[in-house]
A and B are shown apart, each in its own frame.
Chain A
């Protein structure tokens, strides 16, 4: 066990394990002082997460800046990104989200762009659904398309066929519920098991920079 390995691997692991166990204990024993420690630890983690977000912003700028410096493919796209990022942080930092400049950025830049990106999904998803039987013609594909059609028409049933909404409602509340409940149970089980492995130092995702 070298000092290098100790400081770079095992000390961070010990810190993470200790903090995690205290926080988890705060969840399991909410009426004790452990809950208070948990709250403090969570608040500290939120502050550290803020630095992580800042680090991510710097990393994005560095990546695109490198692309501009090397004049790689699409460097002018990266230039547009960096220029926009350099301008976009000023209004919320200095004026807050309520300021007119911030709202203008929201109304005339972010909302049109974001809305158009989300709206683009309808074209691609519709095309995919129309081509589904072209690529795979099976019972499951046909069943899938039938369910989609009933769910769509049941969301906004035409006048006179409101009973289609009941079919949709049944589909959502019985098989849909069962399916997603099973999925969420599986996800929760996986989360617990993975969390135990991390807290017991079996997995060490923080042991980087060796």
Chain B
């Protein structure tokens, strides 16, 4: 669960926004764009679908040193703190695209190249890392990236005159070269003197004692070695040694190296006359096998069948490559595959076709493929010491087939990046494409009216929520709301309580009013008076404890009258508190009755209660404090029994105006009615009694007077105070 930092609500794992308040939640992982799986922050590849989570990025233009110095690792991730939210993560993810500059050249060499140059004795394990680094690096391949050992091989197709390439030092030769052949005497002499500018054969390449050491094992190993290796490791002859010493340049081997070594024909170039030149730079310790194979492919030649032993002369092309090491190899890139292979070289058909097509393309285009790569192809006719590899049949079947010797229309020519100069490259998926630079939304210039409205809105927002009321001219009185309420309460309490306590002080007490004759009360009285003990009356107590103070005073004389007539009372209620109030009132007057009880549903309850018997009751008396129950009873009684059921009402004073349409003689739906203290006092007056309603009539009148005076006083105060304020 993830807890929201704003409101503390628990959200599901993986949620990005809080479900309660909508605030962004702190990131706890990286979401895979392919399968939406949440991965740990340190993951480079998705744990579910193996999609790359961290985009590959290229160093920005103008910062080659940084790019060169920056270690290119396979697991370099943007570090995003967990509590920084999505914004920083998005920002960090945006950095690589900014750094990517596919249109720019990064002249700096990758570190793996530098490492290869530095040491000739690097361990093989580093090769993999450097290979990975090379593969993952998105830096464009520049001339400076060409390894020295490759550059020393000279341009493809041109004879290399190695004039300024110093012979390699004996100690600089890689082990695999050292192991290839015995050290000649001449080389050993040279080794004592140091390196010879004449291009003495590297001692590593010659091993006089090659044939003498462990002949038995050597023969067994020779049987297993391929033909080209057998040719290299053939009989050791002086001529071969001399040739090797002439052709093979470079650093000599140490005197301690006694292994025989034969210089393959492809290493020799320019015949026997060209002395080996010491290379300006040390050759690569381990030219990658792909380099060798690439070199072989680029040359398009078959290695020579035999390589005379002792022939460690540096070929001219190698010498030339050494001299050209300092030159940017891209200046004069020879077109690859332009030279026809030598006739004696059994070039595979597919290679011939490739060379031919490439030659055609080179004529057509300005940037031939591989032009910037120093993959040199020796001129045809130059004897090489490497025999054509014996490609097994199963491998031949896998060779790519090209239609007409021309490359298929596999897409446009790549002009940038590592694959520069190639065709048929898989176009980068849109998903892999770096997002363009966000230019931002171009905002339009607002017009003056919009600006004015915006300023007005801004000013309104800045104003306080409650405006100070404007005081009108002439207004003199201003009392707070609390004072008004207290004043009104004091007036009312004084009026009512004063009238209630007046009998204690004055004795009989003043009488402000007296009961008046009421037509409705009179009709009700007459109706009840016409009942006898054979009749049943249904009484609906549809009021609760809040209205009991008023309605009990109005209902008591009516109930007493019914009790006096001896009718059978059935008490029902459509309100929960009605039966409770009914029981209290009936117990107070000591009446006998049957309590049917409470029925929910308002109109449905009234209809159900009216339909319990086939014959309607003699009368229906509705006691209600609210207008709705009275109206529902009147409607249901009319709908169920028509004019056969007389209905009477005892209600609050608030019901009188609302009951007038039904009480109207023309309508005749209400036979009689008593409303409030005034109606109750009228009924009591008709009965000739003085009840609770009559006793409270004076207090009611005093309250009325107080209310009227308050209303008039308030009207005069606000009317005379000037222009009234508008209602907000």
B185 at the interface (CB under 8 A from A): no
Q: A90 vs B434: C-alpha distance in the bound complex, in angstroms? A: 75
Chain B residues lying within 8 Å of A30, measured Cβ to Cβ, are 640
A158 at the interface (CB under 8 A from B): yes
Question: Which positions 573-631 of chain B face chain A at CB distance < 8 Å?
Answer: 577, 579-584, 587, 595, 599-601, 604-605, 607-608, 611, 631
The prevalent SS among residues of A at the interface is helix
Question: Which positions 151-174 of chain A face chain B at CB distance < 8 Å?
Answer: 152-153, 155-159, 162, 165, 172-173
Please report B residues at the A interface, Cβ cutoff 8 Å: 484-485, 488-489, 492, 511-514, 516, 544-549, 577, 579-584, 587, 595, 599-601, 604-605, 607-608, 611, 631, 639-640, 653, 656-658, 660-661, 664, 676-678, 697, 700-701, 703-705, 707-708, 710-715, 718-719, 724-725, 727
Is there contact, CB below 8 Å, between A53 and B678? no
Is there contact, CB below 8 Å, between B546 and A42? no
Interface window among A7-15, A61-69, A78-86, A123-131: A123-131
- B516's partner among A27, A103, A136, A162 (CB-CB below 8 A) is A162
Instruction: Output the residue of A45, A133, A176, A181 with the most chain B CB within 10 A.
Output: A133
A207 at the interface (CB under 8 A from B): no
Is there contact, CB below 8 Å, between A46 and B604? yes
A106 at the interface (CB under 8 A from B): yes
- A98's partner among B547, B583, B712 (CB-CB below 8 A) is B583
Is there contact, CB below 8 Å, between B711 and A115? no
Chain A residues lying within 8 Å of B727, measured Cβ to Cβ, are 135-136
Chain B residues lying within 8 Å of A158, measured Cβ to Cβ, are 512-513, 701, 705
Q: A145 vs B511: C-alpha distance in the bound complex, in angstroms? A: 26
Please report A residues at the B interface, Cβ cutoff 8 Å: 27, 30, 38-39, 42-43, 45-46, 49-50, 52-53, 92, 97-98, 102-103, 106-107, 110-111, 113-115, 117-118, 122-123, 126-127, 129-137, 142, 145, 148-149, 152-153, 155-159, 162, 165, 172-173, 176-177, 180-181, 184
How far in angstroms is the closest Cβ of chain B from A150?
9
How far in angstroms is the closest Cβ of chain A from B665?
10
Is there contact, CB below 8 Å, between A114 and B548? yes
How far in angstroms is the closest Cβ of chain A from B134?
61
Is there contact, CB below 8 Å, between A159 and B513? yes
Is there contact, CB below 8 Å, between B724 and A42? no
Nearest chain-A residue to B658 (Cβ)? A180
Q: A176 vs B607: C-alpha distance in the bound complex, in angstroms? A: 29
Is there contact, CB below 8 Å, between B512 and A49? no
With A118-B547, A137-B724 in contact, is A126–B604 under 8 Å at CB? no
Q: A117 vs B718: C-alpha distance in the bound complex, in angstroms? A: 29
Is there contact, CB below 8 Å, between A114 and B546? yes
Chain B residues lying within 8 Å of A27, measured Cβ to Cβ, are 639
Q: A129 vs B706: C-alpha distance in the bound complex, in angstroms? A: 12
Chain A residues lying within 8 Å of B660, measured Cβ to Cβ, are 172-173, 176-177, 180
Nearest chain-B residue to A188 (Cβ)? B635
Is there contact, CB below 8 Å, between A111 and B485? no
With A50-B600, A98-B587, A184-B661 in contact, is A123–B514 under 8 Å at CB? no
Q: A98 vs B577: C-alpha distance in the bound complex, in angstroms? A: 12
With A127-B485, A159-B513 in contact, is A149–B724 under 8 Å at CB? no
How far in angstroms is the closest Cβ of chain B from A194?
14
Is there contact, CB below 8 Å, between A181 and B661? yes
Instruction: Output the residue of A30, A97, A129, A156 with the most chain B CB within 10 A.
Output: A156
Q: A134 vs B484: C-alpha distance in the bound complex, in angstroms? A: 13
Instruction: Output the residue of B511, B548, B676 with the most chain A CB within 10 A.
Output: B548
With A155-B704, A159-B511 in contact, is A45–B492 under 8 Å at CB? no
Chain A residues lying within 8 Å of B582, measured Cβ to Cβ, are 97
Is there contact, CB below 8 Å, between B708 and A103? no
How far in angstroms is the closest Cβ of chain A from B592?
13
How far in angstroms is the closest Cβ of chain B from A120?
10
Is there contact, CB below 8 Å, between A123 and B485? yes
Q: A22 vs B656: C-alpha distance in the bound complex, in angstroms? A: 35
A-B contact pairs, 15 of them (CB 8 A): A46-B604, A92-B580, A97-B595, A106-B545, A122-B707, A123-B489, A126-B488, A129-B707, A130-B711, A132-B714, A155-B678, A159-B511, A159-B514, A172-B660, A184-B661
Is there contact, CB below 8 Å, between A106 and B584? yes
- B719's partner among A137, A156, A162 (CB-CB below 8 A) is A137
- B512's partner among A39, A159, A184 (CB-CB below 8 A) is A159
Chain A residues lying within 8 Å of B485, measured Cβ to Cβ, are 123, 127
Is there contact, CB below 8 Å, between A152 and B704? yes
Chain A residues lying within 8 Å of B605, measured Cβ to Cβ, are 46, 49
Chain A residues lying within 8 Å of B712, measured Cβ to Cβ, are 149
Chain A residues lying within 8 Å of B595, measured Cβ to Cβ, are 97-98
Chain B residues lying within 8 Å of A107, measured Cβ to Cβ, are 584
Nearest chain-A residue to B703 (Cβ)? A122
Q: A111 vs B588: C-alpha distance in the bound complex, in angstroms? A: 16
Nearest chain-A residue to B607 (Cβ)? A42
Is there contact, CB below 8 Å, between B544 and A114? yes
Is there contact, CB below 8 Å, between B661 and A180? yes
How far in angstroms is the closest Cβ of chain A from B718?
4
Q: A34 vs B587: C-alpha distance in the bound complex, in angstroms? A: 40
Is there contact, CB below 8 Å, between A46 and B600? yes
Q: A149 vs B488: C-alpha distance in the bound complex, in angstroms? A: 16
Q: A45 vs B582: C-alpha distance in the bound complex, in angstroms? A: 25
